[in-house]
């Protein structure tokens, strides 16, 4: 499956994180409304059966990637000054959320140990900003705010100077990408995530390009790095470095108007996870079924977008020494 990068321009703050499963949910509703119920069921069946026509990453600030969870190299310090310098760099590195593209390409080729000593700390501490805004709940009979509990806060996220996101997609055919771009255009009309009806989550699609440079370790790679959240299937690799979290999701669109919009909680692996493999695959994970208490047709997107990488040499030395 080839890798493509879709560039998104944010046009307003957003409330809902741009995770792959939520992006997929928006695209799925767009596909259903565009092509009808039967075509949608056939399309969704491909994902359920492990034959997805495309795989999505989470959306990342353009030019940035999740920090891999590979443990950093511990260098020997012979003097107090060296110990102090290493502690300072380690403290900076611990705060890092993202890697720049230059750093990420080094990870792919196995040069992870050089990163801590070459990159300026300013480039490592980029992240979203948060903003709190006040809103009113209107009394529909009286036409003004409720007297009690009429004001509430919404915490949104935004990028202060740089409004571009990248969503990476794996697909077998360019025709799939073209269809996907059309679905993104449909979603952009309504917006992304919570409170899109009042202007949050507005965006536009700037374009798409192929990213074969992210697949350079396909031959000779001995690990994979996940660019999205994912729910592993039974035979997925387990040896590696990763973190988990529990998600409490909700159904969307017309399903959210029912008696119970909440899905069952489930555990997933966070982006940046690294797993040892004998042969890298383009994706891992699965669709999670029976995720809603009584809406049995509802499923949860749990595929993980994988990048093949070469583990640094010091990791292999540690492995041999165990």
Tens of pLDDT, residue by residue over 138-177, are 655 555 565 566 565 677 777 877 789 999 999 988 899 9
> 194, exposed or middle or buried, with CB in 10 Å at 0-12, 13-18, 19+?
middle
Rounded to 5 degrees, φ, ψ at 28 are -65, -45
- DSSP letter assigned to residue 235: T
Average pLDDT, the chain: 84
Task: Render pLDDT for 75-128 as a digit per residue (tens, 0 to 9).
Answer: 666 677 766 766 666 666 677 788 888 888 888 888 877 676 555 444 555 676
Token representation of residue 3: 């890798």
């Amino acid at each position: 499956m080839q890798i493509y990068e879709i560039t998104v321009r944010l046009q307003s703050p957003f409330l809902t994180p741009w995770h792959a499963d939520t992006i997929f949910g928006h695209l799925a509703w767009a596909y259903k409304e565009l092509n009808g119920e039967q075509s949608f069921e056939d399309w969704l069946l491909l994902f359920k059966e492990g034959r997805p026509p495309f795989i999505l990453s989470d959306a990342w600030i353009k030019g940035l990637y999740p920090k891999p969870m590979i443990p950093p190299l511990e260098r020997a310090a012979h003097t107090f000054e060296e110990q102090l310098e290493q502690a300072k760099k380690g403290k900076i590195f611990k705060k890092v959320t993202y890697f720049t593209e230059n750093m990420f390409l080094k990870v792919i080729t196995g040069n992870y140990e050089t990163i801590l000593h070459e990159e300026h700390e300013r480039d490592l501490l980029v992240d979203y900003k948060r903003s709190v805004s006040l809103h009113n709940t209107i009394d529909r009979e009286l036409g003004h705010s409720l007297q009690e509990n009429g004001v509430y806060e919404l915490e949104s996220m935004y990028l202060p100077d740089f409004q571009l996101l990248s969503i990476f997609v794996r697909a077998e055919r360019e025709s799939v990408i073209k269809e996907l771009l059309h679905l993104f255009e449909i979603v952009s009309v309504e917006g992304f995530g919570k409170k899109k009806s009042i202007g949050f989550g507005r965006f536009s699609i700037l374009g798409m390009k192929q990213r074969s440079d992210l697949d350079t370790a396909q031959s000779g790679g001995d690990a994979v790095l996940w660019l999205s959240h994912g729910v592993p299937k039974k035979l997925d690799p387990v040896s590696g470095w990763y973190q988990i979290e529990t998600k409490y999701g909700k159904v969307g669109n017309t399903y959210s108007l029912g008696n119970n919009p909440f899905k069952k909680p489930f555990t997933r692996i966070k982006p940046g996870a690294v797993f040892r493999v004998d042969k890298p695959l383009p994706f891992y994970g699965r669709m999670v079924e029976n995720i809603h208490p009584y809406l049995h047709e509802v499923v949860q997107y749990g595929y993980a977008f994988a990048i093949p990488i070469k583990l640094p040499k010091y990791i292999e030395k540690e492995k041999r020494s165990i």
